[in-house]
Structure 1
Amino acid sequence: MNNRSIITRIALITAIVLTMASCRTGRHSSHLTYMEQLGDSRQGTLSKSDYKVTIQPEDELQIIVTSAIPAATSEYNLPNSNASFSTGVGNLITDSQQQSYFVDREGNIEFPKLGTIHAAGMTTSQLRDMLIERIGQHVKDPNVRVLITNFHVNVMGEVRNPHRIHVPSQRFSIFDALAAAGDMTEYGRRDNVTIIREEADSARYVRLDLRDPAITASPYYYLKQNDVIIVEPNEIRQANSRYNQHSAFKLSVISTVVGAISVIASLVIALAVH
């Protein structure tokens, strides 16, 4: 075999090895991609979920009624609460805050002048419109603002900053939650994210594949109050964890054995001296 044939074979083997390595790298990096199944398309249309956040028992609501004449709507508002806090130098500051309406287990709130109102199952827009209609029978052109103030979700698992997130708006997607948690780590499984959602008498869970563009049509794409998002670790993270635990166990055993041998050696030396 001449030198040219040897060089040709070496070049061919090198090319094959590099191709295999790049394929493995490509497959690995694809696991870090959201909406991976969009492929190389430059534009398109995604499905949309029928999304609405409804008021639930044990929610807290902020409802503010205003009009051109403030005195006309003052009786439709809860009184302000005065919360005091320290500046750290011995001074107290009083902060006036609007009190919240608590939705009881039957789904009702007690509203000034109007009495008991069943709010559970309504959206904030529906409750606002209903209040405008009823208050409008006594006040000209009232304006009503309704907010859910205890809208929180919990993000756990393989994200950079797992924590409870206060949701400032009522349109908050799973991608919003992941972004607020610092995004997934490279060890997070994008094909198997669990959402746990409270319902009337139980809790339901679903597993989502964030690589699939059809996720935008899921009723779990937009989050609701007290949803829990769990990002599962991939096989590499689990293998590393098992290896670390095994290594820690072996180190502990070795340390124990070395300690025992040291004690025995000290006793033998002490007996030999005497």
Structure 2
Amino acid sequence: MKINVLSAIVLLLVVSSCSTSKTAYFENLDIEEMSGKMDVGNYELRIAPDDMLSITVSSVVPDAAAPYNLPAVSYSEPGKQELTIVPNLQVYTVDKNGYIYFPIVGRIRAEGMTRNELSKFIEDKIRPELKDPFVLVQFMNFKVVVLGEVKTPGQISVQTERMSILDAIGAAGDLTIYGERKNVLLMREENGKRIFHRFDLTDQSLFESPYFYLRQNDVVYVMPNKAQRNNSNYNQLAQYRISVVGTVVSAISVLASLAIALFIK
């Protein structure tokens, strides 16, 4: 008995050590070779349909900038005179054709621009009428979704433009021990098409991938490893068998009750 217990402990330690070795990232990363030689890459977001943008115009003459900022309208009571205020954030939604409607300037095709490009475009348009204009553009609904074998799957709201695949996994609490590090799926919508890409988190080429930085509404799915898939299949089979046994037992119980009732009569 003692030998069996000892063998089980040894086996558990071996399995644990194997599982730990499979959780490593960037196994082939040559630190001395790659350090200081790998570009960070461009992570600027491009504006896309359904993006919500905060656009605020300011100037050395604040009153002159007011017409370019959307007013918020509130009412004291139904039927009473409306009260107008200027909110801190002016939010514009990019329509399905890629346009926003900006006060005085009119329709602007924002799709495909970066924040800075749209800021400069608006500043150039209003500079003849406004002294030293400054336009601030911010993304208001940049989010990604991380699903699968991570500790806290769900939607992640991003406060900056920079969100890499590693940032997203970190925000989701890292992969579980059942996550397949060589098979992480990215799903993206681009130009009306769905794009799929697979990451290998153990390979240093991840840093050079054009998909390393995430975009609006990207979905990351961490595949379960073989052990977890087998365990899932086993659980489903076990539940099915329990269900069948339960049904059979219920049927036998009903038949037994009928038999007893007939016998008593």
Please tell me the TM-score bracket, short chain as reference: 0.7 to 0.9
Distance 1:269 1:116, change over 3 A: closer
Which residue of 2 is the match for residue 141 of structure 1? Answer: 132
State the alpha-carbon separation in 2 of the partners of residues 257 and 64 from structure 1: 69
Which residue of 1 is the match for residue 80 of structure 2? Answer: none
Work out whether residues 49 and 218 of structure 1, in 8 Å CA contact, stay in contact via their aligned partners in 2: no
Which residue of 2 is the match for residue 52 of structure 1? Answer: 44
State the alpha-carbon separation in 2 of the partners of residues 76 and 193 from structure 1: 44
Which residue of 1 is the match for residue 260 of structure 2? Answer: 269
Runs of 4+ in 1 over 6 A off after TM superposition: 20-23, 39-43
What is the aligned counterpart of 2:152 among 138, 157, 161? Answer: 161
CA deviation after TM superposition for structure 1 residue 204, in Å: 0.7
* Structure 2 residue 172 is matched with structure 1 residue 216: no
1:74-101 CA distances to partner (integer Å, 9 max, x unpaired)? 11111135599xxxxxxxxx99563421
Work out whether residues 143 and 218 of structure 2, in 8 Å CA contact, stay in contact via their aligned partners in 1: yes
Distance 1:32 1:114, change over 3 A: same
Structure 2 residue identity aligned to 1:200 = N
Q: Give the match's secondary structure for 2:191.
A: coil
Larger-gyration structure (1/2): 1
Distance 1:68 1:198, change over 3 A: same
State the alpha-carbon separation in 2 of the partners of residues 191 and 271 from structure 1: 65
Which moves more between the two structures, 183-192 or 101-110?
A: 101-110
Residue pairs, 1:107-256, within 5 angstroms: 107-256=98-247
Structure 2 residue identity aligned to 1:50 = N
Which residue of 2 is the match for residue 76 of structure 1? Answer: 68
State the alpha-carbon separation in 1 of the partners of residues 198 and 256 from structure 2: 58
Work out whether residues 108 and 119 of structure 1, in 8 Å CA contact, stay in contact via their aligned partners in 2: yes
Work out whether residues 71 and 86 of structure 2, in 8 Å CA contact, stay in contact via their aligned partners in 1: no
Q: Give the match's secondary structure for 2:120.
A: helix
Which residue of 1 is the match for residue 26 of structure 2? Answer: 35
Which moves more between the two structures, 169-178 or 42-51?
A: 42-51
State the alpha-carbon separation in 1 of the partners of residues 255 and 42 from structure 2: 73
Structure 1 residue identity aligned to 2:46 = T
Distance 1:201 1:163, change over 3 A: same
Q: Give the match's secondary structure for 1:241.
A: helix
| RMSD between superposed Cα atoms in Å | 3.0
Which moves more between the two structures, 38-47 or 186-195?
A: 38-47
TM value normalised by structure 1: 0.80
CA deviation after TM superposition for structure 1 residue 40, in Å: 7.9
Distance 1:81 1:232, change over 3 A: farther
Work out whether residues 153 and 172 of structure 2, in 8 Å CA contact, stay in contact via their aligned partners in 1: yes
State the alpha-carbon separation in 1 of the partners of residues 203 and 171 from structure 2: 21
1:84-125 CA distances to partner (integer Å, 9 max, x unpaired)? 9xxxxxxxxx99563421222332222112222221111001
State the alpha-carbon separation in 1 of the partners of residues 150 and 86 from structure 2: 36
Q: Give the match's secondary structure for 2:54.
A: strand
* Structure 2 residue 57 is matched with structure 1 residue 65: yes
1:115-136 CA distances to partner (integer Å, 9 max, x unpaired)? 2222111100111122223333
State the alpha-carbon separation in 2 of the partners of residues 83 and 175 from structure 1: 47
Distance 1:81 1:264, change over 3 A: same
1:228-247 CA distances to partner (integer Å, 9 max, x unpaired)? 11111111111111111111
Work out whether residues 53 and 93 of structure 2, in 8 Å CA contact, stay in contact via their aligned partners in 1: yes
Work out whether residues 83 and 96 of structure 1, in 8 Å CA contact, stay in contact via their aligned partners in 2: no
State the alpha-carbon separation in 1 of the partners of residues 130 and 148 from structure 2: 51
Distance 1:82 1:41, change over 3 A: farther
Gaps of 5+ in 2: 1-5, 77-84
Gaps of 5+ in 1: 1-13, 85-93
